[in-house]
């Protein structure tokens, strides 16, 4: 199974790229984590944010691999504990489908893309900056995998 993290935004700060790479590197081939960045539309003072989000959403939808289980990261999604995420990861691995995790830009995901996702996951009721979400998701996937394998990382 491949996990495709499809995220709005490019040219992230070094600490974001480094943090994501570190946890992605730790995951085994059975649940390899791959990043696809979707360029953000230009945000100006008079920008039509809904139109920009819609275009970003269209590019995200086009990046989702055919047949992949799609999970939208949304503040209004279902919160999962680490143990629940580990159980879900076990189910996803058993299904054998690739999956796509979708992270929106500064204003969130396009509502149409979010609506089409099979699941919605909330990392927190807090609003997190979209670059930080990449690192948190990668770390939590690694933590969930170590929990499945009985690795001492999750104590």
Which structure tokens are listed for 18? Answer: 């480094």
Give the C-alpha separation, 10 to 12, whole Å.
6
Q: Please check whether residue 55 is in contact with residue 107, taking contact to mean a CB–CB distance below 8 angstroms.
A: no
Q: Please check whether residue 100 is in contact with residue 65, taking contact to mean a CB–CB distance below 8 angstroms.
A: yes
Residues belonging to the binding site are: 73, 104, 123-128
Residues 6+ away with beta carbon under 8 Å from 91: none
Q: Please check whether residue 71 is in contact with residue 119, taking contact to mean a CB–CB distance below 8 angstroms.
A: yes
Residues belonging to the binding site for S-adenosyl-L-methionine are: 73, 104, 123-128
- End-to-end CA, the chain: 26
Q: How big is the CA angle at 125 (ends 123 and 127), to the nearest 5 degrees?
A: 85
Give the C-alpha separation, 148 to 103, whole Å.
25
């Amino acid at each position: 199974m491949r996990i495709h993290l499809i995220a709005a935004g490019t040219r992230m700060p070094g600490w974001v790229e480094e943090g994501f790479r570190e946890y992605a590197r730790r995951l085994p081939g059975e649940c390899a984590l791959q990043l696809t960045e979707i360029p953000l539309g230009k945000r100006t003072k008079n920008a039509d944010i809904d139109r920009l989000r819609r275009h970003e959403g269209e590019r995200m939808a086009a990046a989702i691999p055919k047949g992949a289980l799609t999970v939208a990261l949304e503040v209004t999604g279902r919160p999962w504990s680490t143990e629940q995420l580990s159980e879900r990861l076990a189910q996803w691995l058993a299904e054998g489908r690739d999956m796509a995790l979708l992270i929106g830009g500064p204003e969130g995901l396009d509502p149409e893309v979010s609506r089409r996702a099979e699941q919605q996951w909330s990392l927190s009721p807090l609003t997190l900056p979209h670059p930080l979400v990449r690192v948190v998701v990668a770390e939590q996937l690694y933590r969930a995998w170590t929990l499945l394998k009985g690795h001492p990382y999750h104590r």
